[in-house]
Amino acid sequence: MLEFLQYLCQVCADAVVVPENVSINEETYQQFYDHFFSAFSKNLARAVQEQSEIGFYKAAARVLELV
């Protein structure tokens, strides 16, 4: 999932060339983020906050949860 998100970000930044038979745009990125990554990142953030004993990781997870 994270690799695909990275790829979409690279496409939006014009850092990679999309094959001719593929259509990827900012709407594709937004749909992927809204439907898949948002829920994943919030669950990950909650789990890190609950299980981490290190303040830095708890704080980073809190920031991720708020994004």
Residue extents of the structural domains in the chain: 2-66
**pLDDT number for residue 9:** 84
Which pLDDT band holds residue 56 (cuts at 50, 70, 90)?
Answer: very high
Distance of CA 28 to the CA centre of its chain: 13
- Encoding tokens for residue 34? 């809204």
Q: Are 29 and 14 in contact (CB under 8 A)?
A: no
CA distances for 53 relative to 18, 28, 41, 59, 61, angstroms: 42, 37, 19, 11, 12
7-44 pLDDT tens trace: 888 888 889 888 889 888 888 888 988 988 888 899 99
**pLDDT number for residue 32:** 87
Q: pTM (2 decimals)?
A: 0.64
Q: How many beta carbons lie within 10 A of that of residue 9, not counting itself?
A: 13
**pLDDT number for residue 12:** 84
